[in-house]
A and B are shown apart, each in its own frame.
Chain A
Amino acid sequence: DGGITQSPKYLFRKEGQNVTLSCEQNLNHDAMYWYRQDPGQGLRLIYYSQIVNDFQKGDIAEGYSVSREKKESFPLTVTSAQKNPTAFYLCASSTGNPGSYNEQFFGPGTRLTVL
């Protein structure tokens, strides 16, 4: 089955700890994205990558880091510098062809709770 997967589904973290959220896709998509969703709010872009070994900050990148060493994988690390990390995190991918108005395919999300 082609698709995008995220793990774990639920994650609990103590304050001061870094934590890494996994995102994998087998859609052969070039572009990948990380969003954060808080209750009653839309999706806010954290980081995105249009090609392997390259990524750009989104609107709320502070306290987060990413890597894109493989086309299929785009892990997100939530660092202790992120002041309010409790949220629902969504990973997405698209073909990334410039100007092609690509739809984004989303994973099932990871709900992170800081205790």
Chain B
Amino acid sequence: SQKIEQNSEALNIQEGKTATLTCNYTNYSPAYLQWYRQDPGRGPVFLLLIRENEKEKRKERLKVTFDTTLKQSLFHITASQPADSATYLCALGSGNTGKLIFGQGTTLQVKP
């Protein structure tokens, strides 16, 4: 069955450092991958999308890579700030229906 895995342990880093979050998947060939941010008790907010034929995408301090051979995406936040503290979800889609399969999320804590 399709499976998505994100680091279940919280990631704690110091302000100013680069945070790197991992999303691995099996038994799936996604057409695209999305990353969302979720704050406690709130709905997720879309951050970035990367397509299967793209290796890397950037948006301000965010960078996403997508390796369909390794079946892995990496999500980087450079110059991290305490305000970046949240849970980050990756989601895979196959295109036609708009349906997404979500990972369980990784909680990031940036300490000042």
Contact = CB atoms under 8 A, between A and B. Distances in A.
Contacts of A101: 31-32, 34, 49, 51, 93, 95
Contacts of B82: none
Nearest to A108: B43
Interface string A41-67: 111110010100000001000000000
B112 interface: no
B34 A103 contact: yes
B8 A40 contact: yes
A80 interface: no
Interface in A63-115: 88, 90, 92, 94, 96, 98-99, 101-109, 111
Contacts of A41: 104
Contacts of B32: 101
A108 B41 CA distance: 8
B96 to A, nearest CB: 5
A21 interface: no
Interface residues of B, number: 28
Contact of B41 (A92, A98, A107, A109): A109
Interface string B22-45: 000000000110100000011111
Interface in B65-98: 89, 91, 93, 95-98
Contacts of A92: 43
Interface residues of A, number: 29
A42 B98 contact: no
A108 B96 CA distance: 26
Contacts of B51: 101
A99 B95 contact: yes
A31 B98 CA distance: 8
A103 B96 contact: no
Interface of A: 31, 33, 35, 40-45, 48, 50, 58, 88, 90, 92, 94, 96, 98-99, 101-109, 111
Q: Which 8 A-B pairs have the closest CB atoms?
A: A106-B43, A42-B102, A103-B46, A42-B104, A43-B102, A101-B32, A99-B95, A31-B98
